[in-house]
Amino acid sequence: MTRETLASFLDKFVAAAPEATAAIDLVGPGIVTTTRTRLRDRVRLLATELAEVGLRRGQCVAVFLPNWSDAVVWQFAASALGAHVIGINTRYNVGEIEHVLRSARPAVVAVADSFHGLDLFGMLRQAVSATDGNADAPTLAVVRTPGLGPAADFDAAAFDLGSGSWQAGSGDTGGASAPRTPVTATQTVAGDLGDPDDPLAVAFTTSGSTGTPKLAAHRESAVVQHARADAAGMAIVPGDVTLCVLPLSGVFGFNTAMATLAGGGTVLMVPVFDPVTTLRAMESERVSHIVGGDDLYGRIHDTWQDVRGDLSSLKWLGIADFLGRSHEIARWARDEFDAFTTGVFGSSEVFSLMLFWNADDPEAVRWNGGGRPVGPEISIRIADPYDDSVVPDGEQGELQVRGPNVTDAYLGNPDAAAQAFTADGWFHSGDLAVATGDGGFTYVCRAGDALRLRGFLVDPAEIETRLATHSDVQTAKVVGITGPGGYTQAVGFIVPVENATVASAALRQWCADSLAAFKVPSAIHVIEKMPTTVGGNGTKIRAVELRDWAQQWTDRERDFRSE
């Protein structure tokens, strides 16, 4: 079977309409446009630079950039050399960046020279230092804000972590040299790492059951195949414009952008979400497609109610329900703009937009999470999470997946592959769903207690692991409650070691030193013992009871402050 590469994907995209707009960067109140031909020129120049610094096939490139069109350019350029990309969210903390460096061992890191007042290079430098030499210092490629040309006074030494640096897109690599980092990929039952004609292309950070993020990698052919399937399902055609607010470092942002290009559309890249500015850009650029959570849509909807705007170009909305507003948003989009809304489903390990509903599905079904597989090559079953036996249609079970969209490898985690699949080769999604009996699957919830914090799915075990490393903490548990505005807040509970005295503020700072700000619990309560229950599988902490305590204490404190 002939596999389509990202290089041929890009060539077809450009050949179809060379001067059509491929990308629009929203930079402050202005925009910077890139034609398809110009996009390919940028890819070719960067690929040449990467080859000059010695990037090899099978190596990793970390992209530590905002939602700029450069993220797309880096994906195509790295893939042209057989390398794979791992995105690093600009909201990550030093500890999370360090974990990516240890696990993926990137030979090259692309970092923004300036963005939103953040010292991205400073955080990267701290993360490299924190690896204590257990990861080679990467070569640094410094990326300028879209619309700005190369800086004449660029100081390569100021960005040198040990392997040199250069200004990406300048054509001058200045002697920088990518280290010969080890291959970190561990094959899964879905992958064949011995296939030289189909290398890994991209990896996404996800949360594992141990609380340590995993890096799920996918092959080049799978990226292209899924992009084309999504484009067809979303009915993207030339002239369409997709709002890209979700970071391309994550799977939902990445798959949305790739689907747009596959359909011949234009990506509107939004690095900083300001509701009014974004709404005006949607109006002026005639946005037709959006993918996001109801938290994102809710801010657009609420802003539109105040300032209005012509969003009649909207055609297709893919929505995930985090705050219970999906149906409200869908009715608004239908009544005001005659736009189609569908719930969606996906993850880092099976791609986003793996499921969404069709136009002939009733709204009562279509406006909920889940859907139908975007391609016939994707197989799904609903199974008992304890013994993996298939359950009847209409009954809840774990949604399990097989197909080319399933992760082919994990980076730097040899144990992850064995734990992620059933004995007969199906991927454990960790999500509960129901088969509708006619080829659809309705999402129910996470099988565990995953938290949706500021739009990101966070395994509480990651926060618990951090708390448990504190010398004064014996046991830690994190639950989610509903905070002001309907948003989920993480609340921690700890049992201290005997005779230890530890303050909540100190524990919150302990978390902040290693975790992204949105993962730091809003409160941490010190208690004498955890509420537990004894069942067939042993003694378990009663998360439901802790959740009730957290909600009551938070509400009580809020009422006290308002008096």
Query: Do the domains 220-446 and 36-183 match in fold?
Result: yes
The pLDDT tens digits of the residues spanning 426-484 come to 999 999 899 999 999 999 877 766 677 877 767 787 898 899 899 999 889 999 888 87
Residue 245 has phi, psi (to 5 degrees) of -95, -40
So what's the pLDDT on residue 295?
85
In 12-107, where do the E strands start and end?
Answer: 21-27, 30-35, 60-64, 84-87
pLDDT less than 70: residues of the chain: 1, 207-211, 323, 448-450, 457, 534-540, 558-563
- In this prediction, residue 411 carries a pLDDT of 97
| pLDDT on residue 5 | 97
Identify the pLDDT of residue 454: 79
In this structure, what are the phi and psi dihedrals at residue 454, rounded to the nearest 5 degrees?
50, 40
**Per-residue pLDDT, 562:** 59
In order, the DSSP letters of 408-450 are: -EEES-TTHHHHHB-TTS-EEEEEEEEE-SSS-EEEEEESS--
**Domain 451-562 of CATH type 3.40.50.300:** no
CATH architecture of residue range(s) 220-446: 3-Layer(aba) Sandwich (3.40)
- 520 DSSP 8-state letter: S
The pLDDT tens digits for 133-142 are 888 899 999 9
As a CATH number, domain 36-183 is: 3.40.50.980
Taking phi over 0 as left and psi of -120 to 50 as alpha, with beta for the rest, 401 belongs to beta
Q: Can you give the pTM of this predicted structure?
A: 0.85
Question: Could you state, in order of their start, the residue ranges of all structural domains in the chain?
Answer: 36-183, 220-446, 451-562
Find the largest Cα–Cα distance for the chain.
71
**β-strands 340-347, 316-320: how paired?**
parallel
How confident is the model at residue 208, as a pLDDT? 47
What local confidence, expressed as pLDDT, does residue 447 receive? 74
